[in-house]
Chains A and B, each alone.
Chain A
Amino acid sequence: MAEESNPNGEPRTLAPLGRRAARVTANRSVGAYRLIEALDLGGPIDPRPGQFYMLATAAGWGAGEDERPYLPRAFSFARVRAESGRPELGFLVEAIGPGTARLAALEVGEDLLLTGPLGVGFSAPAGGGALLVGGGIGVAPILAWHDALGDAAPVLLGFRSSPHAGAAALFAGAPLVATDDGSTGRRALVTELLRERLDDSRPGALPIVYACGPPPMLEAVRAICSERDVRAELALEAGMACGYGACFGCVVPTRAGYLRLCVDGPVLDAAALETAVAPGAGH
C-alpha cells in the first residue's frame, strides 16, 4: 500500500507540477470497456488508490464532434504496476462522448497527456477490515484499492449486463457479481449484495465500506451504511475542468457546504454527505 506522502496527512500522493506525456503501451477491450495502459515516466510510482488523473491525447484532442473535446477528462486510475521501476498506469474507458471516444481510440505508442495523481484517495481500513463495492465504470478505483489491500478484501461488483461485467475479470480472487438483467452473476443491484453482506456480519466485525459507482448506487450505499452505523468512503464523480482546485467547477453539496471534489475528494466520508446524488453528477 502506498505510504502517505502528503505533509498534511491526507491519503494523497503529490503530483508533479504540470502536464506531461505518458506513452501508451496497451489498449485492449475488457468487456464493454477499453483498458488503456501508459508508461508514466515523469510520475510517482505510488499514486493512492482513489486518486485520479486529468487525461487528454497529444494528437486529435479537439477534432471530434462539435470541435470537442477541449478540456482534459478526469479518470481514477484502475491499476498501477512497476515496469523497470517506472509506473505503468491503467485507465478504464467507455466511449460515451467526444473525450472518452478519443481516449478509447488511443493507439500503442501514442502520447497520453496527463496531470496527476490528483485529489484525496481512500484511507486505510482499521479494525473490521475492508469491503469493496464497485458499479459500472466505477470499478476502476475499486480495482486499484483491491490490488493495494491484497486479495483478502471481499469485492462486490454491479453491472448493467454481461458485456460490462467483463471488467470483473480484472479482479484477483472471486468477486461477487450482480447484473441488472442477470446475464452474469446474480440478477440484482450490487447494493442488495451489500445489504445482505452487512446483515450477515457479526456486530463487532463490521467493515469499512469503500464504494465507487453511479450516483444512485452511491446514494444507496450511503443510506445502507448509515442505517447500520457502518463507516463508508465514497469515490464521487463530477464534471471537472482543471482537477486541482483552480476552477471551483466540481463542487458537491455536503453537510459542511460545497466542497471541491478535485481537492477535497474525490473520496469523501459518507457521513459528510446528505446525499450522494448531486446535480450534474455523471454527465
Chain B
Amino acid sequence: MTATVELCGQKLEGPVLNGSGTFDAIAALRTFGDALLDEFPFHAYVSKTITMAPRAGNPPPRLWETPAGLINSIGLPNKGLEGFLDEDLPRLGRLPVPLIVSVMGFSVDELGALAAAAGHRDEVAMVELNVSCPNVETGLVIGADAAETGRAVERCRGLTPKPLVVKLTPTAADPAAIAAAAEGAGADAVSLVNTLRGMALHPRTGEPWLGGGSGGLSGPAIRAIALEQVHSVAAALSIPVIGMGGVQTGTHAADLMRAGAACVAVGTESFRDPAAGRRVAAELTALQPLSGPVPAASGA
C-alpha cells in the first residue's frame, strides 16, 4: 500500500504519474479493456499535449532506438482543443485517478486560452503548461527564457483557478532560474525533465533518420541528467517538483524523491511494460528510505 501524497491540494493514492505523451489511456482501453480501470498504473494521469488547432504530427519515421534510450519525433499529434474537449475528455473522466491536462500554445494568448478552456472543465484537476515551444510572436522558446515563462504563467494564472504545473525545458541554460520565474508568476508545481534534443542518421544514406529531422531523447540514457536537474530545481523552489527521466524501478523513483521531487513520473519505461507505473510504485513502497536529504550541489 503506497502512502497517499498531496499535490497542489489534490490527494493522490501515491506519487507515481505518467509523463505527458507516454501513455494514451483511450488507446490502452481498446487494448486492455476495463482491466485498465481496475489496475490503473498511475496515481494521476497526465494527458498528451493538446494544442488549439488539430495536428497530424510529424512524418514517419518517428522513432530511433539508442543505447538505453529512444529518440522520438512525434510532433504533438492531437485533435485540437475542441476535439479533445468533446471526444476525449469525457472518456478520460472515467479514469479512477485525478486528471492533469497538458496544453501548449504558440503564443501567450493561445496558451492562456487553452489553460482557461481546460481548467473550466470539472473532469480536469490540474493543467500542465508545456512551454517547450517557440512563441511565434518573439521567436523564443517560452521555456528557455525566464521572462517569457513568467509572462506565460502569469497569463494562465489569471484565467483559471485550477493548479498550474509548468513542464520545464531541460535544454534551458539554467532550469532553476526558469523554475523560479514560474513560481514567482503563480505556478503551483513544476515538472521535469522533458526530453533532450537528439538526432540519428540513416545507417545507409547518412541522411537524418527521423521524419522531423531531430527529436527528443528519453529513457535510462538521460536519467543522470534528470536527477541533477531535479536536485538543482527543487533546491531553488518552495512549490512541489514532479521528477522524471529514465525511471525504470522504485530505486530510480526514490532517487528523484531524495533529490527533492514530491512526485515522480514514468515515461519511456511504460513503452516496455504498460504496467510499469504500478510496478515502480510497489517497489518504491517496499524500499527502506535513506535518511537525510541529498546535500546541496557544491557548484564544482
Contacts and interface: CB of A to CB of B under 8 A. Distances in A.
B22 A247 contact: yes
Contacts, number: 134
Contacts of A6: 30, 33
B195 to A, nearest CB: 12
Interface residues of B, number: 45
Interface in B7-49: 21-24, 26-28, 30-33, 35-36, 39, 41, 48
Interface in A133-190: none
A249 B275 contact: no
B209 to A, nearest CB: 8
Contacts of A248: 21, 24, 48, 57, 62, 74, 77
A111 to B, nearest CB: 14
A71 B272 contact: yes
Contacts of B48: 248
A279 B61 contact: yes
Contact of A263 (B30, B33, B63, B67): B30
A115 B274 contact: yes
A255 interface: no
Interface stretch (A13-21, A23-31, A102-110): A13-21
B249 to A, nearest CB: 14
A244 B61 CA distance: 17
Given A246-B22, A248-B62, A279-B59, A17 B74 contact: no
Contacts of A16: 32, 35
B70 A14 contact: no
B31 A245 contact: yes
Contacts of B72: 241, 247, 249
A238 interface: yes
A267 to B, nearest CB: 14
A283 interface: yes
Centre residue among B56, B67, B271 by max chain A CB count within 10 A: B271
A231 B65 CA distance: 36
Interface string A221-262: 000000000000000001111101111111111000110100
B57 A244 contact: no
A252 B60 contact: yes
B278 interface: yes
A240 B30 CA distance: 17
Contacts of A257: 56
B270 interface: yes
Interface of A: 6-8, 10, 12, 14-19, 56, 62, 66-72, 115, 118, 238-242, 244-253, 257-258, 260, 263, 278-280, 283
Given A241-B72, A242-B270, 17 more contacts: A16-B32, A17-B28, A17-B41, A18-B279, A62-B68, A68-B65, A70-B219, A71-B65, A239-B61, A240-B63, A242-B272, A246-B22, A248-B74, A249-B62, A263-B31, A278-B60, A279-B59
Top 7 closest A-B pairs, CB basis? A245-B27, A280-B61, A18-B275, A67-B67, A242-B271, A249-B63, A19-B273
